[in-house]
Every structure is written in C-alpha cells, then in structure tokens.
C-alpha cells in the first residue's frame, strides 16, 4: 500500500475550508492507503498562542477528527510535539533549504504582513518543518488544499536535493488536491482564502458552529450587485458559495444555476447555509461524545505518538548516518 501523510494545525477551530479542502479526503483514503495523520502543533507556535486556548484547540481538533471518521486503529493519528523526530529532522533539512526558496513562499509573505510584530525565524522555516513531517514517513501522497501546493513543491525539491547529494533516502511525495473544494474563500472577503486563524469570525464557518450561527454567517456572506446565481469571472463571492453548495449537495454548477433561476441571493444563501448545517450535523453529534471522553482521547494520541516515533526513527537514523553524524552506541 502507498503511504499517505497529512497534518492540520490546531491554530483555531477547524473550518469548512479545512474540511472540504483536506479532511474529507483524509477520511476517504483510509482503506486504500497506509495513512498517517497529525496535529501540527509545532507549526502553530509560529504565531503567538494563548497557552490555555492552544491546549483546548488541540484536544478539540483531535476529537473532531475522530468525529469526522478518522479511525486511529487504521491510521496512526498523533500530536506532532509528542514525536521528537520532527524537530530533529526539521533542523537538518533547514541546512538543505535555501534562504531564497523560503523567501518566495506566499504563505510566509501573507503571514509576515499579518503579524508584522512577530516575524520570527520559525514562521520563515515553517516549510522545512513541513517537509520533515512528510519525508519522515516516506509518504507517497499528501492530501492538502490548494493553499499548500507551494510548500509541497518545496518539500519535493528538498527531498530530491538530499537524495542527489547522498543516495536515495526520501520518497518524493505527490500532492493529492481535490478538484472541488480545494480552495474555499473567506465569506467576508472572497479574494482571501478561508482561514481558521482569521480574527473576523464571520469570515469562516467552523465545523462546530451551531446551526443558527452557520445560517447567519452565510446570510451575511459578501456577494455582488449582479443578483443572479451563476458561476462567472469576477463573481468571487457567488462562485465560492456555489463551490461549497456543489460539494455538500453533489449538484453540478449547471443544476444549481437552473434551480435558482429567477431567485435572489437571499434564497440562495439560505439554501447553502441549510445544506451545510445538514452536512455537518452527524459530525457535530459524534464530536459531543468524543470530547467528553478525555481518557479515550489520551489513549489514542499516546498510542499514535508511539507508532509515529517507531516509523519516523527509521528515516531519521538513515539521514543522520548519511550526513555523517557519529552513531550512538
Ligand atoms: P491557519 O490560518 O492557522 O494557517 P488554516 O485554516 O490555513 O489555518 P492549516 O492548518 O494551515 O489551516 O491547513 C490545514 C489543511 O486545510 C491544509 O491541508 C490546507 O491545505 C487546508 N486548507 C486550509 N484552508 C483552506 C481553504 N480555505 N480551502 C481549502 N483547504 C484549506
Ligand atoms: Mg494555513
């Protein structure tokens, strides 16, 4: 079986963008592949976190992923900071990553502009830690949203470079990016991607938002003055809503345009909101059970970390030998 690795940051509450762009795939790939999944909490501290909120977000994300259908028996599911090989390989890969390569990353430019008071070295080297995450497990495929494409490309370059300097060490990973839902945009500014760390809570829909909140956020979604439900250039807001509606209902754009012919945006936004509420309802119900069961969560992430350490240590040991570190007795 081919190996799949993917991770999500506990940097806020998980959004519909995360779910449609990546997590839905995480779940559906579990039978066909050897999947390994993680909460990338080391990445999260590239932006300053409130400790109590950070801890809460991590446990919430863990329980939510189980509620989405992640089966920790099938797919090891761990918390990155509990597996020491990630930080170790990241340091080594930093020395095989060029300053100029990191400087070109659009996520770095966006986040540096947004957090101008804390443009730390970790924010800059985020992609080499992400490369370490993926390469440690010799992943063949990485399911991510379109926003991570550039980072994945860099991970491939780092792997090829290292393999070229020494000898084949890392599997060069391919992306697994869904056609629809790859890039869900903010409901308040459809030129920006939906992001869980957005300080404007109306910009995103959280998977755990209450039904009335979801309906309200869609009702307030920014559209245009055209007042016609159709997919077209320059209609970013409507295109985004149509994209979301299409993935959760399975309807094509043509069908949606037909169904809403002669109807206004108000009707359409309400329909999108209701479809999303129904789509998320079973996940929210299962989440409520998992989050109460702290002992079960602890057992799952502890076992996940043990499995991840065993697999990733094999790669790290190989790397260290090739680079020329003296091995421990
Ligand atoms: P942050 O703002 O803290 O970076 P985020 O919402 O971008 O949070 P990440 O943890 O960086 O979330 O990414 C988790 C996964 O969700 C990745 O696979 C990423 O590609 C995907 N993803 C993030 N935002 C979107 C989006 N708007 N549309 C589709 N997929 C997304
Ligand atoms: Mg992100």
pLDDT tens, position by position, 82-128:
999 999 999 999 999 999 999 999 999 999 999 999 999 999 999 99
User: Does residue 170 share a domain with residue 312?
Assistant: yes
User: Does residue 309 share a domain with residue 263?
Assistant: no
Residue nearest to atom 26 of ligand 1 (CA): 17
Q: How far apart are CA 234 and CA 224, in angstroms?
A: 9
145 is in an annotated binding site: yes
Residue 187 lies in a domain: no
User: Does residue 247 share a domain with residue 170?
Assistant: no
Query: Residue 5 pairs with which residues in a beta bridge?
Result: 36
User: Does residue 312 share a domain with residue 255?
Assistant: no
Ligand 1 site, residue 9, Cβ cutoff 6 A = yes
Query: How many other CB atoms are found less than 10 A from the CB of residue 286?
Result: 16
180 in active site: no
Ligand 1 site, residue 18, Cβ cutoff 6 A = yes
The single residue of 1, 196, 299, 322 carrying the catalytic annotation is 196
pTM: 0.96
196 in active site: yes
Residue nearest to atom 1 of ligand 1 (CA): 197
> What pLDDT shows up at residue 182?
86
Ligand of minimum distance to the alpha carbon of 43 = 1
Ligand 1 site, residue 11, Cβ cutoff 6 A = yes
Ligand 1 atom, smallest distance to 147 CA? 20
Residue 184 lies in a domain: no
Domain containing residue 267: CATH number: 1.10.240.10
Whole-number Å distance, alpha carbon 195 to ligand 1 midpoint, is: 6
Residue with tokens 């084949």: 168
pLDDT tens, position by position, 166-224:
999 999 999 998 888 789 999 999 999 999 999 999 999 999 999 999 999 999 999 99
Tokens of 165: 């300097």
Residue 8 lies in a domain: yes
Nearest residue to 72 via CA among 314, 282, 305 = 305
74 in active site: no
Domains contained in the chain, number: 2
The single residue of 192, 193, 269, 328 carrying the catalytic annotation is 193
> What pLDDT shows up at residue 1?
94
Buried b (16+ CB within 10 A) or exposed e, 296-318: ebeebbeebbebbbebbeebbee
> What pLDDT shows up at residue 51?
98
User: Does residue 140 share a domain with residue 15?
Assistant: yes
Residue 239 lies in a domain: yes
User: Does residue 319 share a domain with residue 276?
Assistant: no
191 is in an annotated binding site: no
Whole-number Å distance, alpha carbon 206 to ligand 2 midpoint, is: 15
pLDDT tens, position by position, 124-179:
999 999 999 999 999 999 999 999 999 999 999 999 999 999 999 999 999 998 88
Q: What share of the chain is helix, strand, coil (3-state, %, to 5)?
A: 60, 10, 35
Ligand 1 site, residue 188, Cβ cutoff 6 A = no
Average of pLDDT values for 270-297?
A: 98
């Amino acid at each position: 079986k081919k190996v799949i690795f993917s991770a999500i940051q506990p940097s806020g509450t998980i959004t519909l963008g995360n779910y449609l762009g990546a997590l839905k795939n995480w779940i559906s790939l579990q039978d066909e592949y050897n999947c390994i999944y993680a909460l990338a909490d080391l990445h999260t501290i590239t932006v300053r976190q409130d400790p109590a909120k950070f801890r809460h977000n991590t446990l919430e994300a863990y329980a939510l992923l189980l509620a989405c259908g992640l089966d920790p028996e099938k797919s090891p599911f761990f918390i990155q900071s509990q597996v020491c090989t990630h930080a170790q390989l990241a340091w080594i890969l930093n020395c095989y990553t060029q300053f100029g390569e990191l400087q070109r990353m659009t996520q770095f430019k966006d986040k540096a502009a947004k957090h101008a008071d804390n443009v730390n070295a970790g924010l800059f080297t985020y992609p080499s830690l992400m490369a370490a995450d993926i390469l440690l497990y010799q992943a063949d495929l990485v399911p991510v949203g379109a926003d991570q494409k550039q980072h994945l490309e860099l991970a491939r370059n780092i792997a090829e470079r290292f393999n070229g300097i020494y000898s084949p060490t890392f599997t060069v990973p391919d992306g697994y990016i869904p056609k629809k839902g790859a890039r869900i945009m903010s409901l308040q500014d459809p030129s920006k991607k939906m992001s869980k760390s957005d300080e404007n809570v109306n910009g995103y829909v959280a998977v755990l938002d209450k039904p009335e909140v979801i309906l309200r956020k869609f009702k307030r979604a920014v559209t245009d003055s055209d007042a016609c439900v159709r997919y077209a250039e320059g209609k970013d807001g409507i295109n985004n809503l149509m994209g979301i509606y299409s993935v959760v209902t399975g309807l094509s754009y043509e069908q949606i345009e037909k169904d809403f012919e002669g109807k206004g945006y108000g009707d359409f936004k309400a329909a999108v909101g209701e479809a999303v509420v129904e789509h998320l309802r079973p996940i929210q119900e299962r989440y409520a059970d998992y989050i109460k069961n702290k002992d079960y969560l602890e057992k799952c992430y502890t076992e996940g970390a043990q499995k991840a350490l065993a697999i990733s240590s094999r790669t790290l040991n190989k790397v260290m030998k090739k680079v020329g570190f003296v091995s421990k007795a």
